[in-house]
């Protein structure tokens, strides 16, 4: 069975500093994808970054990077140079069979990030 | 711009009435759409997978007669909450998947906040 674990219900970070949001996962599949989404107070889900299970390099998208450690089954999100607008809920998610477009996405419980001025 | 449009964004209805939520894919045809439910301060829980031209696939524990899903075209899926009760009050959000490069990415609607009084 799939399982996504986010152990940090809330995190504080000072503006302009970097922050790491933890995510561990559990799957028996060899092919899967890991995603991070941002959900501001408005409720919309914003895609941030993707890491494929076969990708050898860690994914990066602007200020977002994913620290993928396959053996440890962790996919932590690193946000560099935090901005006040980064304050939001962040969800880690996983989907098996990602290249074939099938299967459902499982979400973690989320981490609420607060950026302090 | 928005890839997926969800309407309405907020709705308040009386107990016992039915509410229809629309999810439109704006930029591409979507044979499959997904409906999620999110309680306050909780994660997204997949309710059902909506398949164009066929019956929806419901997750365990989701009442298909209460949450009617219709996916009549490649760009529109609707979720109807029938005989709504206060416990149905929640945030409902749809998503559409499409291939981006070598992986499938989920685009989410803006969500619908349902309040049953």
**pLDDT tens per residue across span A69-103:** 999 999 999 999 999 999 999 999 998 765 555 56
CA distances from residue B27 to A20, B49, B74 in whole angstroms, order as listed: 33, 20, 11
Range A89-117 burial, b when 16+ CB lie within 10 A, else e: bbbbbbbbebeeeebbbbbbbbbbbebee
Backbone Cα Rg of chain B: 14
B-chain residues within 8 Å CB-CB of A98? 103-104
Give tens-digit pLDDT for B16-47: 999 999 999 998 788 888 999 999 888 999 99
Determine whether the interchain pair B43/A91 forms a contact, defined as Cβ–Cβ distance below 8 Å: yes
Give tens-digit pLDDT for B95-104: 987 766 666 6
Least confident segment among A31-35, A96-100, B66-70, B100-104: A96-100
C-alpha–C-alpha distance, residues B74 and A101, integer Å: 16
Q: How far away is chain B from the Cα of A84, in angstroms, using its nearest Cα? A: 20
Determine whether the interchain pair B110/A42 forms a contact, defined as Cβ–Cβ distance below 8 Å: yes
Q: Which of A45, A99, A106 sits opposite B108 (nearest CB)?
A: A45
């Amino acid at each position: 069975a799939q399982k996504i674990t986010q152990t940090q219900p809330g995190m504080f970070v000072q503006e302009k500093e970097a922050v790491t949001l933890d995510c561990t996962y559990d799957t028996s599949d060899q092919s899967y994808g890991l995603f991070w989404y941002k959900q501001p107070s408005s409720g919309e889900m914003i895609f941030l970054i993707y890491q494929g299970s076969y990708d050898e390099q860690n994914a990066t998208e602007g200020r977002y990077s994913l620290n993928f450690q396959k053996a440890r089954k962790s996919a932590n999100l690193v946000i560099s140079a935090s901005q006040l607008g980064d304050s939001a809920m962040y969800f880690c998610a996983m989907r098996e069979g990602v290249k074939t477009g099938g299967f459902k996405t499982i979400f973690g419980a989320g981490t609420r990030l607060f950026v302090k001025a | 711009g928005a890839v997926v449009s969800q309407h309405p964004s907020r709705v308040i209805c009386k107990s016992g009435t039915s509410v229809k939520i629309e999810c439109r894919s704006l930029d591409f045809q979507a044979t499959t759409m997904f409906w999620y439910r999110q309680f306050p301060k909780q994660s997204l829980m997949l309710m059902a997978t909506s398949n164009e031209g066929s019956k929806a696939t419901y997750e365990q524990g989701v009442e298909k007669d209460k949450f009617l899903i219709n996916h009549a075209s490649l760009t529109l899926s609707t979720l109807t909450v029938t005989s709504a009760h206060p416990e149905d009050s929640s945030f409902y959000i749809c998503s559409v998947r499409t291939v981006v490069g070598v992986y499938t990415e989920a685009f989410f609607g803006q969500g619908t906040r349902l309040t049953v009084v």
